[in-house]
Structure 1
Amino acid sequence: MGATIEQLGGETVELLQQMIRNQCVNDGTPESGHEHRTATLLRDEIEQLGIDHELIEVAPGRTSLVARHAGTDPTAPALCLMGHTDVVPASPEGWRHDPFGGEIIVASDGTPEVWGRGAVDMLNLTSSMFVAFREIVRTGKRHPGDLVYFAVADEEEGGALGAKDIVANSWDAVRCDYVLTEYGGTPSVGADGTTVLLTTGEKQAAPFQITVHGTPGHGSMPYATDNALVKAAKIVSRIAEHQADPLIDEMFTERIRSLGLGDDLTARLIDPAAIDDALAELPTDLARNVHSCCHTTFSSNVMRAGRKGNTVPDKATVWVDIRLRPGENKYDAERQLREIIGDDLAPSVDVEAMRPDLPESNPFSSTDTPMWDALADSIRMAYPDAKVIPSLVTGATDARFFRQRGVQAYGAGLLSNKVSLPEFLRRFHGNDERIDIESLQLTTQMWLDVCNRLWH
């Protein structure tokens, strides 16, 4: 006999706390991350189950774990539950509680929440996936298809030391037909009832480096100098002021209508001529998300110039984070960036794609699959009248490596209605990141329900 959902929820809470306390902080350097801490923790649990598993270390300490529970029918589709174990850095001075304490804090409305970096992105899913996987194995249940658990390193820095390498070079270990990962499952309640968004695709990241050239000179005589930093600052200002045209497609329109914002505001948000003004009426965190869902975005995130305080710099570099809409590629990104820079500054500028291997296409997963149906049915176990709709995620996830191989991948999960969508979005990489325990129970149950509905 299996455990109750309350018991499984308690196991998810405990595992999430341990993962938070492991502090697998990925600051972008190869020597950070330390994902071996969580990979070892999970390996010790897996070894007690007696099933096939493997630790894959792409670089020292950057360790991922894969476990496979064999199905009864080799022709049945295999499902992979994939969660990353690394988290972004946190500044303790911005938090009300220890970002790596994994404490259970009761909110003012009486809701118990697990606090800590990664509670939302995405250790809540990584831990609940493992608990559901372990429950299936230890109860002796075997579905027709293989069930794979994949705890992966380095997602927060693009996956080169994790899913990208493993999918390319160790495909047999993670071989599957479907992948479930982040981000999805936030309910929105509007006039038409409850809507739950699941991710079927994501914007493609196309970072570029702009190198601006000038002429060195003495800082005490700045008049009429060819200062590379000044020209770079002009470019940064132009990027910040650039207004890309919105893409109002069917997916975006359905997403806006699901938010319950009222007829007038909804109509203006799906009108290309009115959306820019209408965005200002939304809560800031929701407005940022909505804007990014329908625009190509350009964000100048790093600028470096000069070597000495009394010398006019002859070179400046700007790192621009470009996120492409569906249907765009790296050539579109470079063309738009050069248009923003302008003909007057173009002779002083070199533009370099920082991901020259960016795929030509950015496929989305179909909603016409047994997996989509299983997800929708499982969500309605908790929200009976819910409308489940596809959406895109504005950030990058490891799902893209599987989609490039033709695997159908979805961002999933299931949250309680305790937290609004704007508040939930604010917690991604933000201060006071936390997840309520009811959401952990709902998500753990959903993985079990999905398995039952996919294969039966």
Structure 2
Amino acid sequence: MGKDLTADTVELLQTLIRNECVNDGRPDSGNETRNADVLQSYVEGDGVEIERFGPSPERQSFVARIPGSDPNAPSLCLMGHTDVVPVNRDGWREDPFGGEIISSPDGYDEVWGRGAVDMLNLTSSMAVVFKSLAERDFRPKGDLLYFAVADEEAGSTYGAQWVADHHADAIRCDYLLTESGGLHSGPEGKRSVGVTVGEKGVAWRRLRVSGTPGHGSMPFGADNALVSASKIVSRLNEYRPTPRFHEHWRGQVQSLDIPDEAKAAMLDEERIDELLEGLPVTSGKGFFHACTHTTFAPNVVSTAGRPKTNVIPDVVDVEVDIRTLPGEHTDEVTAHLRAALGDELMDKVQVEILMDDPSSISRIDTPLWDALQRAVNVPFPDARLNPQFSVGFTDARVFRELGAVSYGAGLFSPVVDPGEFSLRFHGHNERVDVESLRLTTELWERVVTDLMS
């Protein structure tokens, strides 16, 4: 190992948070070029090749490359996104874009701010390791890439997918490391560390509900599109598809430090729903449910034109975030919607596909998996990697489509509680402890030097 790089990771993370690259889904949001500029200036230097891309000046991504010595050796890409989701400042205890270091009640220094967890902690630590290796004249066998990419939070349209569509060769690689993993589970001596090897599909839909316009003073018997939309939202919220277990679910459950009876219920498709219903929110019940069910979240309702209090609306759009299990795609999503809404409501809506990416997964019998295992065992000799299946989507799906074995990794401190930690993703009071930043930075360096030397 080289020098302790933790301070560099902390400082770079603070800068990225303070740049406030908030992506609200609109094409002109994000302004990720601010973070791209910082990161490019940080990693560029002798022996590093830079290529920069983007659909607009404000939404730039770039690839930094240390060329390999063997053109036949496998290449590795370290990828971090540079955008963050919006915040409700009223819900935060501290400035969400202050990037301040604040001591927790337990005495752990933590970096606070939007993106501290998702995923500027990894984006910064990857950059620090890449720069450190370049400055030490590290010559990998295969190409080593660092990809700082825009627009992950809104579906990759202006980021990874845009680069894959227009400059695929620039990011094509054999192996990819990105978010998210690195949380501990199980008791000491039987510790496991999660590595994300696959993720659910994302099938965003816009349901357009039509009615008949009229005067708000005469609502009786009116064909109010908003009333129909409210029924659709209610049906989707109440819909309960049957649970299904993916190939890594048993391993995830067995790694949990919970009673055997609870494990048995979580592995029983007839009993899991009742068990989850009775768990507290902080137990991670939402995550466990999402791991085992296709989910439907009606998150946006909008009225066409300029709505007015005294006008009965004739067009209302409901945007639904649907996440699918392996084996489900377009036709299965349509069948789910019909089952949820019923024929009468389903026949009243026009369904527009906003995103339609199926579930993806990478194998684990690879040299990268073995290198991750060895790297984790340096600080935690008893730990074993546990393949996880993510309920959210990441840019890894784009790389799997390009043929790369893609893992979500990292290494957090054992004191981090996975259930509580999961609430920080897109939530209030997002923060990451400095010890986790140290462990993750060292993980990347060990993996790269092991795999690429």
User: TM-score, with normalisation over the residues of structure 1?
Assistant: 0.95
Aligned to 2:316: 316
Judged with a 3 Å threshold, the aligned counterparts in structure 2 of structure 1 residues 422 and 67 are, in CA distance, closer, same or farther, namely same
Equivalent residue for 1:128? 125
1:244 aligns with 2:244: no
User: What secondary structure sits across from 1:157 in the alignment?
Assistant: coil
Give % identity: 49
CA distances 1:207-248 after superposition (whole Å, capped 9, x unpaired): 111122222333222222222221211111111111011112
Equivalent of 2:371, from 374, 377, 395?
Answer: 374
Q: Which moved more, 1:294-303 or 1:307-316?
A: 307-316
2:328 match = 328
TM-superposed CA distance for 1:452, in Å, is 2.4
Corresponding position: 1:233 with 2:230: yes
Q: Deviation at 1:58?
A: 2.0
The CA deviation string for residues 25-84 of structure 1, in whole angstroms up to 9 with x for no partner, is: 111122221111111112222333442112213212101121101121111100000000
**SS of the residue 2:6 aligns to:** helix
CA distance 1:60–1:108, shift in 2 (3 Å): same
User: 1:33 and 1:317 mapped to 2: Cα distance?
Assistant: 24
Cα shift at 1:269: 1.4
More off after superposition, 23-32 vs 210-219: 210-219
Query: What is the letter of the counterpart of residue 245 of structure 2?
Result: I
Q: CA separation of 1:45/1:192 partners in 2, compared to 1, >3 Å: closer, same or farther?
A: closer
Q: Does 1:299 align with 2:297?
A: yes
| 1:181 partner amino acid | T
8 Å Cα contact 1:46-1:53 kept in structure 2: no
Which stretch shows the higher mean deviation, 46-55 or 446-455? 46-55
Of 100, 103, 108, the match for 1:106: 103
- DSSP 3-state at the match of 2:222: coil
**Corresponding residue for 1:115?**
112
User: Is 1:399 aligned to residue 396 of structure 2?
Assistant: yes
Aligned match of 1:170 in 142, 167, 172? 167
Moved more, 333-342 or 38-47: 38-47
Runs of 4+ in 1 over 6 A off after TM superposition: none
Partner of 1:25: 22
Cα distance, 1:283 vs. partner? 3.8
1:161 aligns with one of 158, 161, 175: 158
* Distance (whole Å) between structure 2 residues aligned to residue 341 and residue 280 of structure 1: 23
CA distance in 2, matches of 1:348, 1:84: 39
Instruction: Name the SS of the counterpart of 2:359 in structure 1.
Output: coil
Which amino acid is 1:304 matched to? S
**Contact (CA 8 Å) 2:172, 2:402: kept in 1 or not?**
no
Instruction: Supply the distance in 2 between the matched residues of 1:250 and 1:333 (Cα, whole angstroms).
Output: 21
In structure 2, the CA distance between the partners of 1:347 and 1:35, relative to structure 1 (3 Å rule), is: closer
Task: Pick closer, same or farther for the CA change 1:346–1:158 going to 2, 3 Å.
Answer: closer
Q: Which residue of 1 aligns with 2:214?
A: 217
Do the aligned partners of 1:31 and 1:60 also contact (CA within 8 Å) in 2? Answer: no
189-198 or 127-136, which moves further after superposition? 189-198
Question: Are 2:324 and 2:359, in contact at CA under 8 Å, matched by a contact in 1?
Answer: no
Which of 49, 54, 58 is the equivalent residue of 1:52? 49
- 1:443 aligns with 440
Q: Distance in 1 between matches of 2:446 and 2:242?
A: 41
In the alignment, structure 2 segments of 5+ residues that lack a partner are none
* Inter-partner Cα distance in structure 2 for 1:276 and 1:158: 30
- What is the Cα-based RMSD across aligned positions, in Å? 1.6
Report the alpha carbon displacement of residue 165 of structure 1 after superposing the two structures with TM.
1.1
Q: CA deviation at 1:294?
A: 0.8
Aligned to 2:3: 4
Find the aligned partners of 1:256 and 1:314 in 2 and give their Cα distance. 48
CA–CA separation in structure 2 for the residues paired with 1:381 and 1:412:
16
In 2, the alpha carbon distance for the partners of 1:69 and 1:216 equals: 61
> TM-score, structure 2 length as denominator?
0.96
Show the counterpart of 2:416.
419
1:394 CA drift (Å): 1.1
What secondary structure sits across from 2:208 in the alignment? Answer: strand
Residue 315 of structure 1 and its aligned partner are, at CA, apart by 2.2
How many pairs are equivalent?
A: 450
1:4 maps to a residue whose letter is K
Contact 1:190–1:261, Cα closer than 8 Å, also in 2: no
Q: Is the 1:191–1:260 contact (alpha carbons within 8 Å) kept by the matching residues of 2?
A: no
Cα pair distance change 1:161/1:44, threshold 3 Å: same
Mean Cα deviation higher: 101-110 or 243-252: 243-252
**Once structures 1 and 2 are overlaid, which stretch shifts more, 18-27 or 306-315?**
306-315
SS of aligned partner of 1:59: coil
- What secondary structure sits across from 1:321 in the alignment? strand
